[in-house]
Amino acid sequence: MGAGTEPAEAPCDASEGRVYLDHNATTPLAPEAAQAVWDAMCQAWGNPSSSHPAGRKAKELIGSARESLARMVGGRPEDIVFTSGGTEANNMVIHTARRHFCESHGRPGDSRGTPHIVTSSVEHDSIRLPLEQLVKESLAEATFVAVSPRSGRAEVDDVLAAIRPTTCLVSIMLANNETGVIMPVAELSQRIHALNQRRAAEGLPRILVHTDAAQMVGKGRVDVRDLGVDYLTIVGHKFYGPRIGALYVRGPGTSTPLHPMVFGGGQERSFRPGTENTPMIAGLGQAAELVSKNWEAYEAHMQDVRDYLEARLEASFGKERIRLNSHFTGSKRLCNTSNFSILGPGLQGRRVLSCCKTLLASVGAACHSEKGDRPSSILLSCGIPYDVAQNALRLSVGRDTTRADVDVVVQDLVQAVAQLEQDRAL
């Protein structure tokens, strides 16, 4: 190899010969992003806080990546704060909202001074679990608004009905990772903005609005100006970038509060101190550039392949045996996501996948993979019957998935079901 400009040879792919349809869990690193990571490791290895040329080169690269992320979501570079990933970004928002309330409105020992947070019943664990912990420690109150079984969405009126005088944050994901249902975040933000104007006149705390956009970025339009949110979570490995993330904050520390969870050397304007991970940030910036330039083509391709998948499933198994769990009346969904059940006894999702020879997929969120045959709480929350939810599979196509891949996968599912039914008959 030459003087450090070419990436090392890639290791053998353990999934060679398989068809990967688990892109909602993670995506492969785009070659352009991998190259950006490698180039930064070799050429921008200086400490970004150093004033010499090696440090300035790293700092410039980080600045360029910040601009790329801002462009991708319609914000300003100064609104982007780099984080280790989506979990940290989500926790930072909750920590900020609670602390901001306590500093500006809280009264010690007074239940009316306990901050209240509203979210949905289908959020990622990095929203649900921090809230449950705060409730357990009597540091906050939380309402988990049920999604409508008709639409699969957290409906705006239901979210607004949960708001109290002490509400300081509403956090609703932009799109669900299991069903793919897109939530009405823009309308919710508009309504809360109007409500905040009335609350200010009454001396009540401002309600901050957050959306976790982990699943939506790279699969559809994401523009913070249209969404009207105060915070938006960005997760690199969901859009062919490295496993770090970022938090969009509309005017961090000025228009919108942001409190650090850790303290250190002052990096990221002291909102998120720690020596910056320049190579991963460079890769994230390159992944964002790809999204900005190509998201419409990505969306059209993935939707075509996803729709073809669902048509082939119904043609191969019969419409009466396929329940499309992500189809809800009046709701839009992610272009790449199909959650379905193959109906019949003994066809639990995990059992079907274990008999597949080609397909690599999940029954739901990867972070719930240890839960055995218990059906997804997300699907149950959406009104999917228990026995149907138990059989659920979540297939999420990617930028490079083809119709030929779908043909292979459907045939693989047909043989897996046939094997399970044969074993059951013995």
Could you list the active site residues? Answer: 367
Q: Strand 80-83's sheet: what is its strand order?
A: 80-83, 245-249, 231-235, 208-212, 167-171, 116-120, 141-145
| 89 secondary structure, DSSP code | H
Q: How far apart are the first and last CA of the chain?
A: 58
Q: Angle between the 278-317 and 53-73 helix axes, to the nearest 10 degrees?
A: 30
Pull the structure tokens for residue 424: 């059951």
Q: Say how far apart CA 25 and CA 37 lie, in whole Å.
A: 21
Is the distance from CB of 37 to CB of 240 less than 8 angstroms? no
Is the distance from CB of 184 to CB of 155 less than 8 angstroms? yes
Element (H, E) at 184: none
CA distances from residue 235 to 230, 258, 380, 381 in whole angstroms, order as listed: 17, 19, 26, 25
Q: With left for phi above 0 and alpha for psi between -120 and 50, is residue 209 left, alpha or beta?
A: beta
Is the distance from CB of 63 to CB of 77 less than 8 angstroms? yes
Question: Mapping DSSP to helix (H, G, I), strand (E, B) and coil, where does residue 112 land?
Answer: helix
DSSP strand pairing (167-171 vs 116-120): parallel
